[in-house]
Amino acid sequence: MQNPPPIASPDGSVSPAPQPHGEIDLRALAGAQKWVLWALLASIASLFLGMSNQDFVTAANPNNVDYNVQTIQKAVFIDFIRFGIALLMAVAVYRLGRALHIKWAWLAAILALLPVLGIVVLLGLNGQTTAKLRAAGYKVGLMGAKNKSS
């Protein structure tokens, strides 16, 4: 049986051939890994942002009845930023799981929201990704794959 001809788009360019089910798209994998690593870096930065807000510690003290509204607003704003970064990390982990063709990618995304289990899942997925990219000839550094070696 012959393969069907590639489908042409309206502008005349030929669409790329679909990936076989078992084959991993290495460019998508490298991109998803970069998203996860940048989300992890943003998460670490948000922890330092939360720790730098020393006024919140004073406002959270139950013995202190002088609640400063501006301090509480600042703490809520930081919490919104941290929640947004957590959602970004969950989406990035889901994309990485889908790029690896993992059936439980949705579960990995949910676990990425949990503090300890999220790191374990993240390290496991990142290790698998790094091994596959290195086996394909990519140079993998601290922030993901750089370019394919000659």
Give the residue extent of every domain in the chain.
26-135
- The span from the CA of 107 to the CA of 128, in Å, is 17
Paired tokens of 52: 């730098």
Q: Which amino acid is at 13?
A: S
**Neighbour count for residue 98 (Cβ, 10 Å):** 17
- For 22-47, what is the mean pLDDT? 86
Shortest CA distance to 34 belongs to which of 107, 105, 106, 88?
Answer: 88
Q: How far apart are CA 67 and CA 59, in angstroms?
A: 5
| Structure letter (DSSP) for residue 100 | T
What would the pLDDT profile of 56-98 be if each residue is shown by its tens digit? 555 555 565 555 677 778 878 888 988 898 899 999 999 999 9
pLDDT at 142 over 70: yes
Question: Percentage of residues in the chain with pLDDT exceeding 90?
Answer: 22
Percent of the chain with pLDDT over 70: 71
More confident residue, 12 or 132: 132
Single pTM value for the model? 0.71
- Collect all residues with Cβ–Cβ distance below 8 Å to 105 and sequence separation of at least 6: 93, 94, 96, 97, 98
Average pLDDT value over all residues in the chain: 78
